[in-house]
Structure 1
Amino acid sequence: MKVTMLLFLLLGLVFTTLGSYYIFKSTRSSHRNRYRGTCSIPVRSSQRNLTEKVEIDDQMEVINVPKFDENDEATFIHNFEREVSVIKDDTDKVCYMLPLDTEKIPQPQGFLDIIYGLESGLYLLDPETIRSDYQVDHPALPKADIPFLYGDYIADACSNHTSYTLSERSFDLSTTTDIMIMFGKKYVVFPGGQFVLQYHIRL
């Protein structure tokens, strides 16, 4: 009887130890390569540096950009697994969804390499600013569709916001209709790489 109880106690200890190990291992692996910090770069059209708060892991980038010149404050979310980007405007309580531009937005590891290079003084960047014009697609996205289309992280981030998709288009500022883009929304972000991206959104 004593031998049986001792055996059960030993087995319980082994399973508890293994369970703790795998929980710890899972926690570490789910956060591997995670970076939280800031990134500051010069912008050619401004007298100031653009300073962002950045969080990066293997498949996701979250970039918090303060109000910068005429550009509004926003949080940019780049989900490389689903190949989508989100511009989250907490002031207007709006999320704008668009395809991830992999030609201008490098993979997370590439962004990390640039940040480490800037921190060490290895890189001196003078990125070009590229402007893109977008039109808001109506109606708003149903909240129930967002987890399936964009994943749980983005669904949670935009749970208290109205979400729209964006369509890229060109605007002719010489026309009465398209001059309204001047009264739309403007956002800017440095996502790593060679460019500062500026988004003009016609509401």
Structure 2
Amino acid sequence: MVKITFQSVAGQKVEKENDCDKTDVLIPHQMDDEDVELPVRPRRSPLNGLCCLTFFLVVFMSGLVLASIYVYRCYFIPHNPEENLFHCRVMYEDSVYAPLHGRQELEERVGIFLEENYEQISVPHFGGSDPADIIHDFHRGLTAYHDIALDKCYVIELNISIVMPPRNLWELLVNVKRGTYLPQTYIIQEEMVVTGKVYNMRQLGPFIFRLCNGKDTYRLTRRASRRRINKREAKKCHHIRHFENTFVVETVICD
């Protein structure tokens, strides 16, 4: 556009005081095609959409995981301490080690702690079995036996092929009415030998430390091959029978 201004001639009387002294006339100026610039919309990269979608999926999955954990803790983990404690009585057949006795009874108290991932079993004195407190710590992968008659502790690697995990054992005991007999089962035996004394109790974890602190504690190892224990060895061995699966386990600890 070109702006042209006309000024009033000197001496000419202005007819109206409100009129402007100059008049502006705007004349469009012809522009070349090269001077015309049209706005160009930037192209959206497909990576932007992919990043947004990935971020949305991450947020969604995080919320889903948190919601699942909340529901699991509120509805599937018992918060009442009485729901973690069981009093069990088991009938079992001891056809291998005591065939003349026929059916026998085992009684014990079981505490299952799902959040801490460990089990605690208390067995009273009965028959040829010593009274004992047992802890299966699945977090540390250790089992501890406190022989109450000897007031000694024995620690060994957790045998997951025999000991049922806390969640599975809890579900099994929940399905059986508390204080009643469990279905008749059988007994198996595992033999262990003392290998040395434990001096650093802290390395055993807080649950076993609480059970064995202040007591002589020894490490155990399982016998490589099962064999019949002779009468001389039997005098140096101690038997602990307990229930931690769908069968009864007799743990034989030999010095």
Residue 73 of structure 1: aligned partner = 131
Residue 129 of structure 1: aligned partner = 187
TM-score in terms of structure 1 length: 0.73
Residue 159 of structure 2: aligned partner = 101
RMSD, matched Cα = 2.8
Compared CA separation, residues 85 and 107, structure 1 to 2 (3 A): same
- Equivalent residues in 2 for 1:1-203, closer than 5 Å: 32=79, 34=81, 35-45=84-94, 47-58=103-114, 59-119=117-177, 125-138=183-196, 140-142=197-199, 145-148=200-203, 150-169=204-223, 170=225, 172-173=227-228, 179-183=231-235, 184-191=237-244, 193-203=245-255
Which protein is bigger by CA-based radius of gyration? Answer: 2
Q: Highest relative contact order (Cα 8 Å, sep 6+), 1 or 2?
A: 1
Gaps of 5+ in 1: 1-27
Residue 34 of structure 2: aligned partner = none
Gaps of 5+ in 2: 1-72, 95-101
Deviations 1:70-121 (CA, angstroms, capped at 9, x unpaired): 1111111000111111111122111110111111111111111111222179
User: How far apart are residue 154 of structure 1 and its match?
Assistant: 0.9
Residue 181 of structure 1 contacts residue 201 of structure 1 at CA under 8 Å; is this kept in 2? Answer: no
Compared CA separation, residues 120 and 187, structure 1 to 2 (3 A): closer
User: How far apart are residue 155 of structure 1 and its match?
Assistant: 1.0
Deviations 1:23-66 (CA, angstroms, capped at 9, x unpaired): xxxxx999847511311111212544211111111111110001
Residue 171 of structure 1 contacts residue 181 of structure 1 at CA under 8 Å; is this kept in 2? Answer: no
**3-state DSSP class of the match of 1:125?**
strand
Partners of 1:120 and 1:179 lie apart in 2 by 39
Q: How many residues align?
A: 168
Counterpart residue identity of residue 165, structure 1: R
Partners of 1:48 and 1:172 lie apart in 2 by 24
Deviations 1:135-188 (CA, angstroms, capped at 9, x unpaired): 1112x110xx2212x1022112111210001111146557xxx54331111111
Compared CA separation, residues 74 and 124, structure 1 to 2 (3 A): closer
TM-score in terms of structure 2 length: 0.59
